[in-house]
Structure 1
Amino acid sequence: MRAISGLWRWRHNALCRATDLAEAWVALAGLLLILSLAPLIGTLVGGAAQDALQRSVREQHQSRHRVTATVVRALERPPLTVDPEGASAGDLRSRVLAGWTAPDGSRHEGPLMTSVDDPDTGDRFAIWTDARGRTVARPLDSGTATTHAALAGFGAAVAAAALVETARRIVVWRMVRRRYARLEQEWDRAGPDWGRTGAGS
């Protein structure tokens, strides 16, 4: 907006220098680029991230299976590496020896962490495994993938806008330096005659 008002202000001003107009045009070009390029880049990056993440969601849901594990016995809790006062309830989980049947029918047994409070033999809880029964992380859900894609698109748009603004500032800085260099040269030429009446006449 400042660029437009700057152009309008200098339109018929006798004091307007070519550099003033050039700076205003650079500012206007930067504004238009930010308003057009940043949303476009954000949309493209967000769309690409959405496609990749949703493909990953589908692959994970096909390759990971939710099975029920049964507590064989509770295991001794490992020593705390965090302050129990500052830890959330999810951080203080129980460690148990559990057994489960894999999707391929094989039987497995091993130590697992569970959120079951005071687990007893025979308690059941859900876990995620691959087709062979190895435990894996819970698959990404579609909503979380969409949120990540939106954040990626927003981040790309902000980065594009920052890049355009940085380029604009560099161009204006160079223009101002060039103007000051010319002003210094003019002062150097006028310097010997400064303050002397009739000098050089």
Structure 2
Amino acid sequence: MAGEIPQAQPPPDVPAPGRHPHLLLWRWRRNPLRRRTDRMHAWAALWLLLAVLVAAPAAMFAVGDTAYSHYRSTAEHEARTRDHRPAVLVHDAPRHPEPGSDEAEKTRYPVKVRFTGPDGAARTGKADVEPGLPVDSTVLVWVDTDGKITEPPLTAEQIRSRTMGWAILAFLGVVLTGLAAHGVTGYVLQRRNLAGWDAAWTATAPRWSGFP
């Protein structure tokens, strides 16, 4: 349609970071195509990088220390309140399809057992036992103060593993937050650039097209 203003387009020669190593820092170098928003983006990226470099190790240490204290306290409580007691199988344990194999040595089946609780009363519950154990076999189970079969207290290795897991999650959380903030900053500045291009093109296009 005659007189219609063409759609605004971004400048074609603005280098795209990442296309070549020497273009990665183009926002920091003086050039006629560098805009104020480019400088803002560069500074925002720098401050976010510095913030992540400081905050990520700090968060990793703080969360790891808190997790270690929590799990160590939990392990100490479990050691005080859980007891290793003998229990007798009420029926035969299932046999493994491949007796003598490495898998059979690691496999455990839940079987009903009978044991004496902390109060001296006879109780029953399910315990994981080796395959093929016959009825009346004796196994050791962990029992809590309520007389229920439970897991053994946390080991030192489990405490270290869980502590490291929480520390790594904290580190990654800070890094991902920084990346998200960088992405949002870039999106906002890009929208600002597009609005500026539209405004400039609306004012310039009529003179280029020959229409008032």
SS state at 1:74 partner: coil
Residue matched to 2:62: 44
Task: Name the CA distance, whole Å, in 1 between partners of 2:117 and 2:35.
Answer: 78
Q: 1:25 aligns with which of 39, 43, 59?
A: 43
Q: 1:136 aligns with which of 134, 150, 165?
A: 150
Q: 1:173 aligns with which of 183, 187, 198?
A: 187
What TM-score does the superposition give when structure 1 sets the normalisation length?
Answer: 0.77
The offset of 1:96, in angstroms, is 3.9
Residue matched to 2:31: 13
**Partners of 2:67 and 2:166 within 8 A in 1:** yes
Residue matched to 2:109: 93
**Unaligned ranges ≥5, structure 2:** 1-17, 19-23
The offset of 1:70, in angstroms, is 2.8
Q: Deviations over 1:94-117 (max 9, x none)?
A: 62442x34455x142424334133
Task: Name the CA distance, whole Å, in 2 between partners of 1:24 and 1:127.
Answer: 61
The offset of 1:123, in angstroms, is 1.9
1:148 paired to 2:167: no
- Pair 111,62 (structure 1): closer, same or farther in 2 beyond 3 Å: closer
Task: Name the CA distance, whole Å, in 2 between partners of 1:167 and 1:187.
Answer: 30
**Partners of 1:94 and 1:115 within 8 A in 2:** yes
- Pair 182,14 (structure 1): closer, same or farther in 2 beyond 3 Å: closer
Residue matched to 1:81: none
SS state at 1:125 partner: strand
- Pair 22,97 (structure 1): closer, same or farther in 2 beyond 3 Å: closer
- Pair 76,47 (structure 1): closer, same or farther in 2 beyond 3 Å: closer
Task: Name the CA distance, whole Å, in 1 between partners of 2:108 and 2:84.
Answer: 23
The alignment-based identity, stated in percent, is: 22
Task: Name the CA distance, whole Å, in 2 between partners of 1:97 and 1:143.
Answer: 29
- Pair 126,167 (structure 1): closer, same or farther in 2 beyond 3 Å: same
Task: Name the CA distance, whole Å, in 2 between partners of 1:172 and 1:37.
Answer: 21
- Pair 188,142 (structure 1): closer, same or farther in 2 beyond 3 Å: same
What one-letter code is carried by the residue in structure 2 that aligns with 1:164? G
- Pair 44,103 (structure 1): closer, same or farther in 2 beyond 3 Å: same
The offset of 1:65, in angstroms, is 0.9
What TM-score does the superposition give when structure 2 sets the normalisation length?
Answer: 0.73
Q: Which moved more, 1:120-129 or 1:37-46?
A: 120-129
**Partners of 1:116 and 1:125 within 8 A in 2:** no
Query: What is the alpha-carbon root mean square deviation over aligned residues?
Result: 3.0
- Pair 15,191 (structure 1): closer, same or farther in 2 beyond 3 Å: closer
**Partners of 2:113 and 2:124 within 8 A in 1:** yes
Misfit runs of 4+, over 4 Å: 88-92
Q: Deviations over 1:100-152 (max 9, x none)?
A: 34455x14242433413333354211100124533222222221122111111
What one-letter code is carried by the residue in structure 2 that aligns with 1:47? D
SS state at 2:150 partner: coil
Task: Name the CA distance, whole Å, in 2 between partners of 1:114 and 1:169.
Answer: 50
